[in-house]
Amino acid sequence: MLAGYLRKKSVALAKCQANDLEVPADADFVLEGYVDPNEAPAMEGPFGDHTGYYTLPEPYPKFHIERIAARRDAIYPSTIVGIPPMEDFYMGTASVRIFLPVIKLTFPEIVDIALPAAGAFHNLVVVAIRKQFPHHAMKVMHGLWGMGQMMFTKMIVVVDEDVNVHDAQEVLFRLCANIDPQRDLVFSKGPADVLDHATSVLGVGSKLGIDATHKLPGEVNTRPWPPIIKMDETVQRRVDELLHDVRH
């Protein structure tokens, strides 16, 4: 479906040589074989992965190859892994840009999303929203954790719509300024990337949601919420004029 969406036309399929499954007709390589569910798994690893760490040995099912087919002058597609940022960061960034309009169909309050490079694709997600009601950020967090591979996201930081989610300094400023840890941190639990070595159990881990938005009256019961410092537009224009005169 993704390939068809990117190509703006359906992907042609062809029947495999040794079974009735269909594969993309223009695939460079096709490996045909089987996995026996009754066979004991084999240890796989260690090998370098996109997390920036060596994946520890784990038992995985065996794939028995019966046939390999290749196009004439086939190209073997591969990717390089290592400490971020690597190729998957740019692939993830492209995926967000492509699917952000689709995400907004479900969450119209979302303004923008960023997957910082240090998060190794999905460990950290920063979301800017048009906040409309108390605890709106919590609604967005849990909604995103329920969307496809977003379930693997370990940390979601929600900020206001005026924040540039691609500016780490701006995000960190709001993160440090706008949270009371006990009130604004949400812990959950769910599926985790099997390559995540930090979880206590393979494939299952905890999640952290951080509400770094400005708080509404229903969220802060004892103190008023202050406005962010903003230079008066008249002063801003005058400063710009003076700096222009100095430069010229």
Tell whether 199 and 117 lie within a shared domain: yes
Six token digits for residue 138:
């919590």
Tell whether 10 and 116 lie within a shared domain: no
Tell whether 103 and 199 lie within a shared domain: yes
CB 144 within 8 A of CB 209: no
Q: Is the per-residue pLDDT at 248 higher than 90?
A: no
Using CB atoms within 10 A of its CB, is residue 171 exposed (0-12), middle (13-18) or buried (19+)? buried
Q: CA dist 243 to 192, 236, 239, Å? A: 51, 11, 6
To which residue do tokens 């995103």 refer?
Answer: 144
Residue 238 falls inside a structural domain: no
Residue 244 falls inside a structural domain: no
Is 193 a residue of the active site? no
Tell whether 65 and 115 lie within a shared domain: no
Report pLDDT for 138.
Answer: 96
CB 56 within 8 A of CB 39: no
Tell whether 14 and 121 lie within a shared domain: no
Residue 247 falls inside a structural domain: no
Residue 194 falls inside a structural domain: yes
Give me the number of domains the chain comprises. 2
Residue 79 falls inside a structural domain: no
- Asked whether the bond before 57 is cis by omega within 30 degrees of 0, the reply is no
Tell whether 31 and 132 lie within a shared domain: no
Can you tell me the mean pLDDT for 118-124?
87
Tell whether 39 and 152 lie within a shared domain: no
Tell whether 66 and 98 lie within a shared domain: no
Residue 30: domain span: 2-70
Q: pLDDT tens-digit profile of 38-93?
A: 999 999 989 888 889 998 898 999 999 999 999 999 999 888 888 988 888 888 88
- CA angle at residue 199 from 193 to 204, to 5 degrees? 55
Tell whether 37 and 146 lie within a shared domain: no
Catalytic residue among 28, 36, 49, 88: 49
Q: Is the per-residue pLDDT at 16 higher than 80?
A: yes
